[in-house]
Amino acid sequence: MSVDTPERTGPTGPTTQPLLTLRGIQKSFGAVHVLRGVDLDVRPGRVTALVGDNGAGKSTLIKGIAGIHPFDEGDYSFDGQPVKVHGPKDSNALGIEVVYQDLALCDNLDVVHNMFLGREITKGGLIDEDTMEKRARETLDGLSVRTLKSVRTHVSALSGGQRQTVAIARAVLWNSKVVILDEPTAALGVAQTEQVLKLVRRLADRGLGVVLISHNLNDVFEVADDIAILYLGAMVGQVETSDYTREQIVTAITTGQLPAKTGGAA
């Protein structure tokens, strides 16, 4: 599988200011210290893969960014300005959207109504079907989605890859700046995985900051510009993908120790 991508600069390069910056993030649940001084940068036009073993803190980190479990300590900045995120509405207002693994789609509704679920456009007290359909089509066309024949198809009739596409399109419909994708290729076949990875790349190419949570290092090395590695709640490092091999990233995930960079991924 191959996803065509343009040349991209490193995550620590000085050319772009991060959209999202976390410094010294701490989070505990009772006596369990889940996040320990985590730093993270998400830059526009880049895919940042967030990797780590089960229990490393990935879910807690993204839920904290989304405001579901607000952080206990640390600095949270967006577009260079310090912000306070107390709930999902705060993160949405900043331009942060999360596509969770369960997708939160309604099988009995069509693509349009799923994309506008909970945010329906009304006119004269009635749902404005024409405007919603037009905006849904424009969003999908803007992402070069060609796998959906009709935006009026019920989600129950869609494949796994098509469902993932609808969920991602819904996330970018609201002028989002950062999109977080939780295991978007889990349980997908090879062809559908390739379609979703191409869509992930297109999000970044449109200037969004993309966070990709994945256990699949093939997917990570296919589309990610940089990799942030969590180990037992601590950030081992955020590195440029091309500087490391899969084996080195596996070592960092399993031991919490980041080997010296090789200068090229294998």
Bridge partners of 28, per DSSP, are 33
pLDDT tens, residue by residue, 226-246: 999 999 999 999 999 999 999
Cα-Cα-Cα-Cα dihedral sign, residues 68, 70, 76, 78: positive
Contact (CB, 8 A) for 145 and 165: yes
Domain presence at residue 119: no
Domain presence at residue 186: yes
Contacts of 152 (CB under 8 A, 6+ apart): 110, 111, 112, 133
Contact (CB, 8 A) for 183 and 215: yes
Domain presence at residue 207: yes
Question: What is the pTM (predicted TM-score) of this model?
Answer: 0.88
How far apart CA 145 and CA 199 sit, in angstroms, is 8
Domain presence at residue 116: no
Cα-Cα-Cα-Cα dihedral sign, residues 32, 38, 43, 48: negative
Domain presence at residue 120: no
How far apart CA 18 and CA 188 sit, in angstroms, is 31
Domain presence at residue 97: yes
pLDDT tens, residue by residue, 141-194: 988 888 888 999 999 999 999 999 999 999 998 889 999 999 998 888 898 899
Domain count, the chain: 1
Q: Domain of 28: which CATH number?
A: 3.40.50.300
Which structural domain range is residue 52 located in? Answer: 20-105+176-255
Place of tokens 């959207």: 97
